[in-house]
Amino acid sequence: MNYEELMQKAEEVSKNSYSPYSKFPVGACLLTSSGKIYTGCNFENSSYGLTICAERNAVGSAIAEGEREILAVAIYSPNQDCCSPCGACRQVLQEFKPQNKDIDIILKSNEELKIIPLSKLLPEGFSL
C-alpha cells in the first residue's frame, strides 16, 4: 500500500466522521510493520471533552489487532488543507514508533502529499 492509497483511505473514512459539534470531519489511515492498514475517524460527544480524534481511533483499532509498530499515518480533513495531528495524537503515535525508526506523517497540501517525520512534529517526545 503506497502513501497515495493511504491518503485515499483516510479521505474515504473521513466521510464516516461523527462531528456534529465542530463540523470538522477527520479521517486517518495508518500502516503498520505487518503491512496492514487501519483506519479511524473522529467521533464527538455532547460532553465535548470526550471527543476522540481520527488518529487515536485508528491507533486503537491497530492495537486491538495486536499491532505494536506504526510506520506511517495519513491524515485528511475536507475542511482544512494540511490537517496536522494535535499534540495528544502526536504523543500517542510516539508510543508505537518502531525502534530506531521514525513514523511518517502524511498530510495533503494543495493536492500534493507532504511527508513529515513525527520527530519533527514532536521533538524530544516523552517515552519511558
Indicate which residues carry an active-site annotation: 55
Q: Which residue's CB is nearer to ligand THU, number 34 or number 43?
A: 43
**Long-range CB contacts (< 8 A, 24+ apart) of 48-52?**
48/21, 51/21, 51/22
Give the residue with the Cβ less far from ligand THU, 34 or 79.
79
Half-sphere exposure of 113 (CA within 13 A, CB side): 18
CA–CA distance, 15 with 86 (Å, rounded to integer)? 20
- Cα–Cα distances in angstroms (integers) from residue 1 to residues 10, 52, 78, in the given order: 13, 26, 22
CB of residue 61 to ligand THU, shortest distance in Å: 14
Q: What residues line the site for ligand THU (CB under 6 A)?
A: 19, 22, 24, 26, 42, 44, 51, 53-55, 85-86, 89
Element housing 9 (H / E): helix 3-14
Find where cell 480524534 sits. 53
CB of 25 to ligand THU, least distance (A): 8
Judged by CB, which is closer to ligand THU: 1, or 86?
Answer: 86
